[in-house]
A and B are shown apart, each in its own frame.
Chain A
Amino acid sequence: MAELLQILVSGLSAGAIYALAAVGFTLLWQASQTINFAQGEFVMLPAFFVLAGMTIFGLPLWAAILTALVLSLVVLGAMFKKLIVEPMLPHGTLPLVIATIALGILMKESVKEFYSAQGQPFPPLFPQHVINFFGASISIQDICNLVVAFAAIISLQLFLGRTRTGRAMQATAQDPRVAEILGVDVKKMVMYTFLINGALAAIASILISPVYLAKFSNGETLGMIAFIAAIVGGFNQIKGALLGGLLIGVIDNLAAVYVSAEYRTAIPLILLIVIIMVRPQGILGTPEGRTV
């Protein structure tokens, strides 16, 4: 029982971080029909913003994190939309998909070039203590990661559901033409979505890097897991992406402990195949799509 509890907490902690990236996938899809195959690299890059802030500019950790957050909004949000999505989108989804794949490669190789191919230590954000809970050793870091990731997603849900801007963003996602007729500034709402994705990627990056280390290739795995999580949960629902992320985090840990550590990476893929065959819209997705 104690072992299961530990697996659950550890899996939920990792899964919540995957969910942040997965939510970004669904947001961009909803707002602009963009499938961002550079999403993994979006999660990889902010950690290097933090490291550069600390090592090159001598900033303390908190200031480096704030700077990284701002840079992520600018680079991964606004610049991504202006320089990649807007010019490519009129040509259709496929050219945009290819453009995001190319962007991912560019980001990865740039980090490798400027910051070396080696993994870099990343300072821990939370105390490295363990608490005993019903016989299970629960890491404070896992709990904090879980809390921060959930806080981010709940805040996003509240923003989308309880604020005027959030509702305008939902209206834009549901039908941009009607939203425009109703006086919504559609371009601005789409831009907000990209900024939110940049912020979510930054939070995921900063939470995961103390354990995974900061490395140029981190996005390969993270992007794939987030993409699978978004499909499993439902590509057109934030709550679906959240569920998908948590599910994959927990299943991955359960599989590694009770099935086989060697085949753990295959389990999410098996889940993906099963979901596509049984419920193609995802666990919480809707067949018609287009709601945030």
Chain B
Amino acid sequence: MLKSLLTGTALAAGLGFAAQAETVHIANIAELSGAGAAAGSVWADGVHLAIDEINESGGILGMKVDMREYDSQTDPLQSRALVQKAIDEGAFALLGTVYSSSTVVNMLVAQQNGIPQFTGSEAPSITEKGNPYIFRTTFGAQKGMPKIGAYLKDTLGVTKIAIAWANTEYGKGGHDAFSAVAEEMGLDIVADVASEQGQADFSADVLKIKNSGAEAVFVYLTEEESARFLIEAEKQGLDVPKVGDTVLTSQKVIDLAGGAAEGALGHVGLSADAPVPLLQEMDAKFTERFGYRPDHNAIKGYIGAYSIKYGAEIVGEIDSQKLTDAMHGLCLDAEEYPGVLMDICWDENGEVARESFMVEVKNDAQEITTILPPN
């Protein structure tokens, strides 16, 4: 009796181990609620699409992906605890978070545990801290700012600029990077207006900018705040060009702001409207499945999941450290690795180099005006 019980237990344990060994555990820590839900839940949908595709096509190295999702509630401390939880539960690689304020806090936990983390965050500081385990899924804000500065000065011909920015890690990073570029290019910042995360009333912010004499406004806010800013700008008749980096002209902001987003200009790293066949294919699949169009965050989540797959397959085994080492200096050609959608390279800091686009919002969609080379 005892023998058969032990045999049964051993068999069950063996089967359990076998089942566990056939899956690869990846964790996605995202802003599924709270102020960052507009970014995090879209990112999560991008991840879901990619993971399901990966599993349908045989998984990673023949193993199915077991993707577990954690809601950071847009709370940096909560995100830190969840990264630790995900690692304790056996995650081999991490996806998320999207909000830089969370990522700067939780990436230290991933670093201490030696787990590679693929983030959607864009604050310059993320890749400036010398953390070898962090990898972006799109380039940091500092890469887009010189392109935006040149566009404002050379194309729009403005000299007086206002900045509306979010008083968060993400916003501060973009604000500082843009201010440095503006100073370098001789652009005069006549209004510098910070707003809080989750701010609902932008009437005073817009009024301040309107009365500053600014010839254009650089908007560096997160999704819902960008939409509220654009709605208020339309309400108050702020008729100077509104220029942003990635978020301002994203599909999410266009959907939220409705007609108020019309004419907004921006530099974007990823756009479903880009003339790139793989991006358009992903756009179609995403729209069919989720009933709305993917924005840059959805595309980042999708690319992040595929980057883990390709990195692990290049290494040839499921090993967090080897994946981390392989990612530094890695370039993936979209023809050979279609899940990355566009050719992409990571440098020694986990920073990304890739083509980008200048866009204008026309008829509730992004219209690509210029394709810019990687920098």
Please determine whether B224 and A119 come into contact, CB atoms closer than 8 angstroms.
yes
Q: Whose C-beta in chain B lies nearest to the C-beta of A6?
A: B207
**Contacting residue for A261 out of B205, B210, B234, CB 8 A:** B205
Chain B CB count within 10 A is highest, among A213, A253, A261, for: A261
Closest chain-B Cβ to A224's Cβ sits at a distance in Å of: 12
Considering only residues 202-254 of chain B, those with a C-beta below 8 Å from chain A are 203-205, 207-208, 210-211, 223-224, 227-228, 231-232, 234-237
Interface string of A113-151 (1 = CB under 8 A from B): 000111111011000101000000101011000000000
Q: Does B179 contact A (CB under 8 A)?
A: no
Chain B: CB-nearest residue to A9: B203
Is A213 a contact partner of B236 (Cβ separation < 8 A)? no
Segment of B188-196, B269-277, B315-323 engaged in the interface with chain A: B188-196
Stretch at the interface among A83-91, A186-194, A214-222, A283-291: A214-222
Residues in B whose Cβ lies below 8 Å from that of A137: 210, 236-237
User: What separation, in Å, do the CA atoms of A264 and B35 have in the docked complex?
Assistant: 19
Q: Is B177 an interface residue (CB 8 A)?
A: no
Do A118 and B207 have beta carbons less than 8 Å apart? no
Residues in chain A near residue B194, CB distance under 8 A: 261-262
Chain B's closest residue to A140 (CB) is B235
Assess the B33–A112 pair: CB atoms within 8 A: yes
Name the contact of A7 in the complex, choosing from B41, B201, B204 (C-beta under 8 A): B204
Q: B167: which of A3, A118, A119, A262 is its contact (CB, 8 Å)?
A: A262
CA distance A3 to B210 in the complex (A): 9
Asked if residues A119 and B33 are in contact (CB atoms below 8 Å), the reply is no
Instruction: Report the Cα distance A252→B205, complex, angstroms.
Output: 11
Which of A3, A117, A212 is the one whose CB lies under 8 Å from B228? A212
Contact assessment for A262 and B196 in the assembled complex, using a CB-CB cutoff below 8 Å: yes
B329 CB to nearest chain A CB (Å): 37
B237 and A218 contacting across the interface, CB-CB below 8 Å: no
- Report the interface size for chain A: residues with CB under 8 A from the other chain: 38
Question: Which residue in chain A gives the minimum CB-CB distance to B258?
Answer: A121
With contacts A116-B37, A213-B224, A213-B228 known, is A257 near B259, CB below 8 A?
no
> Given A217-B198, A262-B167, does the pair A14, B203 have CB atoms closer than 8 Å?
yes
With a cutoff of 8 Å between Cβ atoms, the chain B residues found around residue A210 in the complex are 231
Q: Which residues of B contact A14 (CB under 8 A)?
A: 201, 203
A188 to chain B, nearest CB (A): 37
A99 located at the interface, meaning its Cβ lies under 8 Å from any Cβ of chain B in the complex: no
Q: A117-B33, A213-B227, A217-B198 are in contact. Are A261 and B235 (CB under 8 A)?
A: no
Collect the chain A residues with CB atoms within 8 Å of residue B258's CB: 121, 123-124
Closest-by-CB residue of B relative to A220 is: B198
Of B204, B231, B259, the contact of A211 (CB 8 Å cutoff): B231
CA separation between A10 and B235, bound complex, in Å?
A: 10
CA of A91 to CA of B253 in the docked complex: distance in angstroms? 48
Say if the beta carbon of B200 comes within 8 Å of chain A: yes
Q: Which of B24-82 contact A (CB under 8 A)?
A: 32-35, 37-38, 41
Point out the residue from B37, B204, B259 that lies within 8 Å of A118, measured CB to CB.
Answer: B37
Chain A 39-66 interface residues, beta-carbon cutoff 8 Å to B:
none
Asked whether, in the complex, the Cβ of A121 is within 8 Å of the Cβ of B200, the reply is no
- What 0/1 readout, one digit per residue, does chain A (233-269) give for beta carbons within 8 Å of chain B? 0000000000000000000110111000110110000
- Whether the Cβ atoms of A261 and B208 lie closer than 8 Å is yes
Task: Give Cα A130 to B260, complex, Å.
Answer: 14
Instruction: Map CB proximity to B onto A75-118 as digits: 1 under 8 Å, 0 otherwise.
Output: 00000000000000000000000000000000000001000111
| B224 & A215 in contact (Cβ 8 Å cutoff) | yes
Complex interface: chain A residues within 8 A of B204 (CB): 7, 10, 252-253, 255-257, 261, 264
Query: Whose C-beta in chain A lies nearest to the C-beta of B164?
Result: A261
Give residues in A with beta carbon < 8 Å to B: 3, 6-7, 10-11, 14, 112, 116-121, 123-124, 128, 130, 137, 139, 141-142, 210-213, 215, 217-218, 221, 252-253, 255-257, 261-262, 264-265
- Of the A-B pairs whose beta carbons lie under 8 Å apart in the complex, a sample of 11, sorted by A's number, is A10-B203, A14-B201, A112-B33, A117-B37, A118-B41, A119-B38, A128-B234, A211-B200, A213-B224, A215-B224, A217-B198
Q: Which 10 A-B pairs have the closest CB atoms?
A: A256-B204, A130-B237, A117-B37, A117-B33, A10-B203, A212-B200, A119-B224, A139-B235, A118-B38, A253-B204
